[in-house]
Amino acid sequence: MPTFDRELSLTLGGEAGQGIQTIEYLLSHLLKTAGYHIYATKEYMSRVRGGSNSTTLRVGEKSIAAPCDRIDLLIPLDKAAITHVQNRISPKTLILGDKSRLGEDFPLIDVPLEKLAGQAGSGIMANTVAAALVCGLMELDAGLLNQFLSSYFAGKGAEIIRQNLAAAALGLEWGAKIARQEQIKIAIKPTPEVKNQILLNGAEAIALGAVAGGCNFVSAYPMSPSTGVFTTLAQNAEKFGLVVEQAEDEISAVNMALGAWYAGARALVPTSGGGFALMVEGISLAGMLETPLVISLGQRPGPATGLPTRTEQADLEFALYGGHGEFPRIILAPGNLQEAFLLTARAFDMADRFQTPVIILSDQYLVDAYYNTEKPDLASGEPENHFIKTRADYQRYQLTENGISPRGIPGFGEGLVCVDSDEHDEAAHITEDLDIRSRMVEKRLKKQELIKETALQPTLLGKAGSQNLIIAWGSTYQVVKEALEILSLKDTAFLHFSQLHPLPATTAGLLAKARQLVIIENNATSQFGKLLQLETGIKIENRILKYNGLPFTVEEITEHLKILWEGGLE
């Protein structure tokens, strides 16, 4: 009897246009409402129709926040969906699908999804039948499913709701029947605490964090995978009091944001690697103007268009060095949804306080992954503005001890708030006085040391001073954490960085305490490893790297670490 008693890994696949994302949304939100811990991640091709897409949901009794390779239950809507995930199928994988479409190359339990959808009104609702099939296998309450479907399709009219409810009833019936016939038992228990948690993805967490940080202006040109941040804010613009502008390109978007900050707003620019490339001149402009700027950079594999709907951590060096001239900047990289929210809110305060660009470095995997989590702590209260009311003798670039000149806003006070992209004196008048040039460069760079003093400390899991230290950054946090919980390695700790630049002053000391270091990154050249070597002089020889466009899975990290340990690590 196939029994799943603590966790189920469920994968659904099909071509673009068959509603795979709809199934993911329905099941993840429905199962969370029913009290299950939910994690969902998608893998999809860059096309409107065709190709082969999949979504994997992990349903469990305990919190889950990382992808896995294992498939317990596979529901393919077309034949390509099976071959697409073939290397993840094991003899224990149960495949449920339409044998007339899928053939007999793989053993499967026949479910005529399209025929059942046709009986309900249209074959296009095969995705609703598939979602309800899962609910039937899990013996979920039909009333809850019907309530959810009625709400989800409320905007499409009564007939669409009726047809989907009919399709769901057939899916539920078949799910219950198959569970009896095949003796499939899904005995995962709902957890009461889940109902008080929120379910969201990384894009929504970044968007909400921006609002918490006082963001009131958003300008962007849509580009995967950052579009989710932009659309979340645009859809809620009225509710949150936002001005949202879809610019004609990324050059306009970043310059609009600079203008908004100059006028006293708090502006966000969501983009991806290709868009960030176009913004480089604007970033340098922010450096010279000393205008705050917050950019949410969702990484995807490049160069050029690369794999536009896949993931990678390969834009760190670009974020670090993009721009001409020398000026301070801050780079943050959230490790999970809580950090995506909190670090985005913090980014606005840091940009405002230090008058410098702040780049939030996420990636496709993080922004598209859903899971339930506690509501973020909003104890920090209302955002604090760092601009001043100017006097008549105000000078925008006043030389100060710490390098931060008081920032005035046009119309707020008596002073004239001038800025200039040319080198300038304290009053922002253009100058080619080379002595003033040196003093202005030193003033701008002086802020870097102040920023470093406030840098976020990396998160240490495990005992300080452990012999072995595993290092990661950004979105790999949860998958490394789960792999280490499985392995229970002796005398081993995990150090995760969420602020990549400037690094905290403690970094070298933390690395030097360990005898053996291992770094894990979702890129081909260990960009963070190179940065650590540059900053600390410590070279990390043991590297686990992945760069095929997919995120690490728990099994991959586990196996890689086992090999390293068997090869000499203790």
Structure confidence at residue 229 (pLDDT): 98
- Say if residues 371 and 32 touch (Cβ distance below 8 Å): no
Residue 208, SS3?
A: helix
Q: What phi and psi values does residue 258 have, to the nearest 5 degrees? A: -60, -40
Dump pLDDT digits (tens) for 127-152: 999 999 999 999 999 999 999 999 99
Structure confidence at residue 106 (pLDDT): 87
How buried is 452 (Cβ within 10 angstroms: 0-12 exposed, 13-18 middle, 19+ buried)? middle
Q: What phi and psi values does residue 172 have, to the nearest 5 degrees? A: -60, -45
- Distance separating alpha carbons of residues 463 and 448, to the nearest angstrom: 31
- Say if residues 540 and 529 touch (Cβ distance below 8 Å): yes
Q: Which of 42-56, 187-201, 340-354 has the lowest mean pLDDT?
A: 42-56
Dump pLDDT digits (tens) for 7-36: 999 999 998 888 898 899 999 999 999 999
Determine if the peptide bond prior to 225 is cis (ω within 30°).
yes
- Please report where in the chains the tokens 């057939």 appear, as a residue: 170
Structure confidence at residue 43 (pLDDT): 92
Structure confidence at residue 135 (pLDDT): 96
Structure confidence at residue 210 (pLDDT): 98
Q: How confident is the model at residue 1 (pLDDT cuts 50, 70, 90)?
A: confident
How buried is 221 (Cβ within 10 angstroms: 0-12 exposed, 13-18 middle, 19+ buried)? buried
481: enclosing H helix or E strand:
helix 477-487
Structure confidence at residue 367 (pLDDT): 98
Rounded to an integer, the average pLDDT of 177-190 is 95
CA angle 399, 402, 406 (to 5 degrees): 55
Q: Which of 496, 461, 499, 504 is nearest to 477 (CA)?
A: 496
Q: Which of 241, 477, 457, 258 is nearest to 365 (CA)?
A: 477
Q: Which tokens in the block code for residue 45?
A: 């091709």
Could you give the strand order of the β-sheet that contains 267-272, starting from the edge strand earlier in sequence? 243-246, 217-220, 267-272, 293-299, 357-363, 330-332, 499-501
Dump pLDDT digits (tens) for 332-364: 999 999 999 999 999 999 999 999 999 999 999
- Say if residues 316 and 331 touch (Cβ distance below 8 Å): yes
